[in-house]
Amino acid sequence: MNGWLDVIDGGLGNAIQDAGRYGYRHMGVAVSGFLDPVFAACANALVGNAGDAAAIEIRGVGPSFKVRQGPVRVALTGALSASILRHGGSRQDLDAWHSATLEAGDILKCGAVDGGTAYLAVSGGIDVLPQLGSRATYQRAGIGGIDGRLLASGDALPCRRLSHNEYREYRADPWQHAEGPIRVMSGPQADHFADGELERLLATPYRVTRDSDRMGMRLEGPALAHRSPAHADIVSDAVTPGTLQVPGNGQPILLLADCQTVGGYPKIATVIRADLPRLAQCRAGDPLRFTAVDLPEALAIQHRETERLARWQNGIGTYLPAGYLDEAALYTCNLIDGMVRAEPPIRD
């Protein structure tokens, strides 16, 4: 039997995403998908899903849901918290990096994201029909998610119902993204820039401007000079999330998940795959510093991050939530702090 969530309030800027839509870029279809695949994988792990299961990506004012069929397990990751209004009338807080189980009639109200990108994962993943092989919302073409658009009140989100309510919940330490400069590989058109301009990009912080969305972030800093005015345009070729393209005004644009598949500006450098999730957590005004790595280094970093995520997942523990049992007794017994087992959650 299925679980169902009804969207009471879509909030602002929230949509269904998954690991992205591959195999259609030659038709001009963006990859889309999670801006921060690591935070999304963490949220999914906390509810027992595979890391790439479809989840709600929250970028602004969070959405609210009422459970039509439960129980369903939910978890949040990112700079966000939520409150649960039980159908019996009691109220509970749900912090990020924790799961909760919701029964039919319960209401989950997410707060606003305090910058960056947050995720709400639901047991079984958001089970809308995939389009072109993916559930990722791609607004420009109106595909994926629900009619290719942001969440809105009245939407019904199918998921998987837990076969039983096991009382335990899951939690883990907040994931810490890597620190230090954002790592890039130079090129493919670094030779379109005047001597020393790549070094300038690597030596100076660039600020994230408000002109940022899922397609890309405009950065602001010292203008990067092309070798000549003619070098400011290229015969259009392919771009990818992470591409740092520089139009004639010299201010770089950092492309993200919903970016076009091709572009006509020279690309001075490209952010490596392992650091793309960090970009999703940037806020307007944040300074970005860059450093260059080569392909073997980039692959080694990616490998280490994959292993680190596996270790994080092994650190997921269980706890007994307040609400189901006698709360007063739980508080006096101090059971809530106990990490019961250091192993992945048992799937329901």
Write out the residues near other proteins by the rule CB under 8 A.
22-30, 131-132, 140-143, 184-185, 187-189, 230-231, 234-240, 242-243, 260-262, 267, 270-273, 295-296, 298-299, 302-303
d(CA 231, CA 274): 30
Identify the sign of the CA torsion 41, 47, 53, 55. Answer: negative
Instruction: Please state the closest distance from residue 15 (CB atom) to other proteins, in A.
Output: 16
Q: 322 CB contacts (<8 Å, ≥6 apart)?
A: 92, 330, 331, 336
Q: 38 CB contacts (<8 Å, ≥6 apart)?
A: 175, 177, 277, 305, 309
- Count CB neighbours of 263 within 10 A: 20
Per the CB < 8 A criterion, the answer to whether 106 and 84 are in contact is yes
Instruction: Please state the closest distance from residue 238 (CB atom) to other proteins, in A.
Output: 3
Instruction: Please state the closest distance from residue 321 (CB atom) to other proteins, in A.
Output: 38
Q: Which is nearer to other proteins, 92 or 240 (CB)?
A: 240
Instruction: Please state the closest distance from residue 25 (CB atom) to other proteins, in A.
Output: 4
Instruction: Please state the closest distance from residue 143 (CB atom) to other proteins, in A.
Output: 5
Per the CB < 8 A criterion, the answer to whether 320 and 329 are in contact is no
d(CA 67, CA 102): 7
Instruction: Please state the closest distance from residue 128 (CB atom) to other proteins, in A.
Output: 14
Q: Which is nearer to other proteins, 32 or 101 (CB)?
A: 32
Q: Which is nearer to other proteins, 16 or 29 (CB)?
A: 29
Q: Which is nearer to other proteins, 44 or 189 (CB)?
A: 189
Instruction: Please state the closest distance from residue 230 (CB atom) to other proteins, in A.
Output: 6
Q: Which is nearer to other proteins, 28 or 60 (CB)?
A: 28
- Count CB neighbours of 301 within 10 A: 17
Q: Which is nearer to other proteins, 160 or 267 (CB)?
A: 267
Q: Which is nearer to other proteins, 109 or 267 (CB)?
A: 267
Peptide bond into 188 cis (omega under 30): yes
What does the buried/exposed string (b/e) look like for 66-95 if buried means 16 or more CB atoms within 10 Å of the residue's CB?
Answer: bbbbbbbbbbbbbbbbbebbeeeeeeeebe
